[in-house]
Structure 1
Amino acid sequence: QINSAKVHTYSTVHDLESITKELKDPFILFVYNEDLDMNSNSAVNSDFIFIIDYETEFEQISNNIFKIDGERLNSFSIGTILSLTEMNMKLHHRIVDNLEIGINLTVEKDPGKLYNMILTFLRKATGAEAGTLYLMSEDREKIYFVCSQNSLFDTRMIEKKEVPFNKESLVGFVCHTGDVLNIPDAYAIPENSPYHFNKEIDKKMNYKTESIITVPMKTNSGDIVGAVQLLNKKKSPDAEAEPFSKFDELVLKSLSTLAAVSVENNRLLIETETLLNNMIISSVKAIEQRDPATKGHSLRVSALLVALLKKIAESKKFIDFKLDQQTLKSAETAALLHDFGKVGVREKILMKEERFYPDQLEALKWRLKYITASVKDKNRKQEIQDIRNFTDILYDLNRPAPYSEEQKSLILRVQDLTYNIDGIKVPVLTDLEKSYLAIRAGTLNDEERKDMEKHVLYSFELLNSIDWPFDLKNVPGIAASHHEKLDGSGYPHHRDSSSLGVVERAMGIVDIYDALTAKDRPYKKAMPPEIALKIIQSEVDKGKLDKDVFEIFLKEKDSIDKEVQKKLKDKKFN
């Protein structure tokens, strides 16, 4: 036994390998030059190697291999070497820990995890039994603590509250002045001191604060964003508390700067994400202002998609589908913006509520009256009566509803009639008016529908022009997929099952479902959910929509509806 280390001696190389093979703790190897095999178990697993030679000077061969003179080797020199290597190892571990915390602080986005990570590391670096992390408000007028730890009890018991921003509290003093307060005994602060220790928390928690250090968290520019306060430095859990050292001050000042930069970067990240989210919601509102007939559609589709994806992720049929935060946020954002391209569609098409535009309907009505008043040919008496009857039901025909058989027959009788009035050829119906009367569902003729369908392509082009963050880079592709079909018959890119992922397949289903059941579209009545589901089922049977995704939607519909209603009520999107 030398110092605190247990020393094993060997006589042969075989002894050396046998001894080191059984060791579980880290060890340092002192070995004769002729016994050293760098590929042996003893050499490979040792932390440091000291090669014993004679008539030689001390020499460092590599980071952990040294050569020493055997003539000078004794218990004192071995003890000194052990102490130095132990210090070296501790310093090495501290440097590694510092590097790891630096890396972790730069990648952690969750504020709560970040604050706990900072406090845990600072306590570990100094041997503190407890600690609290304080942050200042953005206007730098208030201080509040966001994280507290104590190895003796559950720190969640501590009531989180605002700390007065004045020099009387330790934290307030540090945040005001930017100075470090290193107090050996919290209960021995002089009465005339500008700051005081709050003993009430100790009483409330039945705890005794002794040594206490408070360090400001300063950014590189010197801006103070908060403070770290550590309590009761101890060498071991059962040891007595001792004052924090000057080295602890140095470590804390250095690491608190890193923590301050991380906190500030995290705050900026959250502000940036909040700004992006607000812009997304504002874009949705802008779309709704341009197309009031579909107000609420994007929000409902987004909520439906998120709820359905969560159920899909729980299903054994989709064991390979991983719903991480990035996938979920991309899907939600894409659903919110899937109709963004409607800003490029002509407003009169978006606003069209009936088969004819109002001015066109009035023009047709007056032309029909002109014909019936001008044509006096008795041989065409029945035709003129049909035109009068057609005029009488014109407003009924304009509504986006199926025609009766009698209405269909009347349209066929008058649509191709033409009269010569005062040398001018006057048709009962123009080709454009015939296309409006030929509309079977909705209010758009073929040409208008093609224009409307371009909104998906516009969505892709507009969203693809945005320099999205890495975790949202899939938004344009997902948003442009809501009218694609598994058999390639959809639009705009005619993608098929080989390129449509789970998110795209789920979005296609929920978009159709909401479009069919929506109650806010003036050109059609809301369809009962059971009828809408039958229509979607028919599309599944034709191979256009995903069968497994739809089965989960059917099975979990009640649960999905509840989550959607809650999300819409709470207005928590993105």
Structure 2
Amino acid sequence: MDLVLEFMAYIEREPNATADRLFERILEKSRLLTGAEAGTIFLVEETEPTAPRIRPICIQNNLVEVGSIDLTLAIGPGSLAGYVAQTGEVVIVDDTYDQAKQWPFSFDHAVDKRIGYRTVSILAFPIRTYAGSIVGVVELINRRKLGHQGPAPFDREQADMILAFNQLVGRAIERTVLIDELKGASRAIGVANRALAEESKEREAAEDQAVEAGLEGLETVRKAGERLRAHIVAILDAAGRGDLDAIAKTAGTLKTALDRMVESARPPS
């Protein structure tokens, strides 16, 4: 099978894979095709448009347990990956510890010291979108070759082979990252909708309580009005009989009823 088709068939074997899983499969296949013992995929981050950086998002190593590394690199000659992200060049390094060799970028072996590893040979290349923009960098590390003791250098044929499907990889990454973002947006919309529904329920419950309280208030006023009418009728009846004591007594009761009626009509504080 053509290597390009083989590569794409391998990474597309899981069509619903997340972006993280896609990165893993891209790095796995790149290492298989070149015999690389280890490798890293860096992704360009443009959180600061004036100073974009790259960050390792997938790390594999057959010899040591690496885990995640909290590291960001400036795009530029301060590192090999930063240089590739800046220039778009494919870089082959036979021995990173060769002091006699002059490179247009710097090497920092701090990570090697931290994890107990020795990075010798490297094949680094950019990941490009269909439009040609650089979105990441792949570093393949320490080629293992039959009959060769220790890490062997990568060769130009391997670099050309990788570049043959580079844009296809970039398109696959673009698509998968976009799908992940859409899924995340969909989840966020779902959460927002549920929150709105809950808020609507609470508002309806509050409105129902307000209506119920209003009806109770009206009923209280109605009953007070009936008592007031009864007192007025009693006063008129006493007046018709000329019973002054009854009038005075009923008038006092009427004042109390009026005070209660006014109090019940006041809104709660």
Length-normalised TM-score, structure 1: 0.36
Q: Which runs of 5+ in 2 are unaligned?
A: 235-256, 265-269
Task: Write out aligned runs for 1:137-148 (5 A).
Answer: 137-139=45-47, 141-148=52-59
In structure 1, which of residues 341, 352, 361 is the aligned counterpart of residue 216 of structure 2? 361
2:13 is matched with 104
1:232 is matched with 142
Q: Does 1:351 align with 2:207?
A: yes
Q: Which runs of 5+ in 1 are unaligned?
A: 1-91, 294-346, 378-387, 396-574
Q: Percent identity?
A: 23
Aligned residues: 233
In structure 2, which of residues 168, 179, 183 is the aligned counterpart of residue 269 of structure 1? 179
2:159 is matched with 249
Cα pair 1:131 1:148 within 8 Å, conserved: yes
Q: Does 1:164 align with 2:74?
A: yes
Cα pair 1:168 1:194 within 8 Å, conserved: no
Task: Report the CA distance between 1:151 and its aligned residue.
Answer: 1.9
SS at match of 1:155: coil
- The change in CA–CA distance for 1:265 and 1:222 in structure 2 (over 3 A counts) is same
Q: Does 1:134 align with 2:42?
A: yes
Amino acid at match of 1:136: V
Task: Write out aligned runs for 1:281-300 (5 A).
Answer: 281-292=191-202
Task: Report the CA distance between 1:132 and its aligned residue.
Answer: 1.0
Task: Report the CA distance between 1:159 and its aligned residue.
Answer: 3.8
Cα pair 1:189 1:196 within 8 Å, conserved: no
- The change in CA–CA distance for 1:253 and 1:190 in structure 2 (over 3 A counts) is farther
- The change in CA–CA distance for 1:189 and 1:118 in structure 2 (over 3 A counts) is farther
In structure 2, which of residues 69, 90, 96 is the aligned counterpart of residue 186 of structure 1? 96
Task: Report the CA distance between 1:121 and its aligned residue.
Answer: 0.7
SS at match of 2:208: coil
What CA distance in whole angstroms lies between the structure 2 residues aligned with 1:133 and 1:187?
22
Task: Report the CA distance between 1:96 and its aligned residue.
Answer: 5.8
Amino acid at match of 1:282: A
C-alpha deviations, 1:288-324, integer Å up to 9, x for none?
333337xxxxxxxxxxxxxxxxxxxxxxxxxxxxxxx
- The change in CA–CA distance for 1:194 and 1:93 in structure 2 (over 3 A counts) is closer
Task: Write out aligned runs for 1:111-510 (5 A).
Answer: 111-139=19-47, 141-156=52-67, 159-188=69-98, 193-236=103-146, 239-292=149-202, 347=204, 351-353=207-209, 357-374=212-229, 376=233
Amino acid at match of 1:290: S
SS at match of 2:13: helix
- The change in CA–CA distance for 1:350 and 1:215 in structure 2 (over 3 A counts) is same
Cα pair 1:115 1:147 within 8 Å, conserved: yes
2:246 is matched with none
Task: Report the CA distance between 1:106 and its aligned residue.
Answer: 4.1
Task: Report the CA distance between 1:98 and its aligned residue.
Answer: 1.7
C-alpha deviations, 1:32-82, integer Å up to 9, x for none?
xxxxxxxxxxxxxxxxxxxxxxxxxxxxxxxxxxxxxxxxxxxxxxxxxxx
- The change in CA–CA distance for 1:173 and 1:138 in structure 2 (over 3 A counts) is same
- The change in CA–CA distance for 1:102 and 1:190 in structure 2 (over 3 A counts) is same
1:400 is matched with none
Cα pair 2:11 2:22 within 8 Å, conserved: no
Higher relative contact order (CA 8 A, sep 6+): 2
Cα pair 1:291 1:351 within 8 Å, conserved: no
C-alpha deviations, 1:195-234, integer Å up to 9, x for none?
0222334444554433211111111112211110012223
- The change in CA–CA distance for 1:208 and 1:102 in structure 2 (over 3 A counts) is closer
SS at match of 1:351: helix
SS at match of 2:25: helix
Task: Report the CA distance between 1:129 and its aligned residue.
Answer: 1.7
Cα pair 2:42 2:55 within 8 Å, conserved: yes
Amino acid at match of 1:366: V
Task: Report the CA distance between 1:268 and its aligned residue.
Answer: 2.0
What CA distance in whole angstroms lies between the structure 2 residues aligned with 1:167 and 1:230?
18
Cα pair 1:168 1:196 within 8 Å, conserved: yes
Task: Report the CA distance between 1:123 and its aligned residue.
Answer: 0.2
Cα pair 2:37 2:141 within 8 Å, conserved: yes
What CA distance in whole angstroms lies between the structure 1 residues aligned with 2:135 and 2:14?
16
Amino acid at match of 1:147: C
Cα pair 1:122 1:255 within 8 Å, conserved: no
SS at match of 1:166: coil
What CA distance in whole angstroms lies between the structure 1 residues aligned with 2:131 and 2:190?
33
Amino acid at match of 1:97: E
C-alpha deviations, 1:405-438, integer Å up to 9, x for none?
xxxxxxxxxxxxxxxxxxxxxxxxxxxxxxxxxx
Task: Report the CA distance between 1:172 and its aligned residue.
Answer: 0.3
- The change in CA–CA distance for 1:189 and 1:180 in structure 2 (over 3 A counts) is farther
Amino acid at match of 1:243: P
2:240 is matched with none
Amino acid at match of 2:198: E
What CA distance in whole angstroms lies between the structure 1 residues aligned with 2:134 and 2:14?
18
What CA distance in whole angstroms lies between the structure 2 residues aligned with 1:192 and 1:95?
34
Amino acid at match of 2:226: I
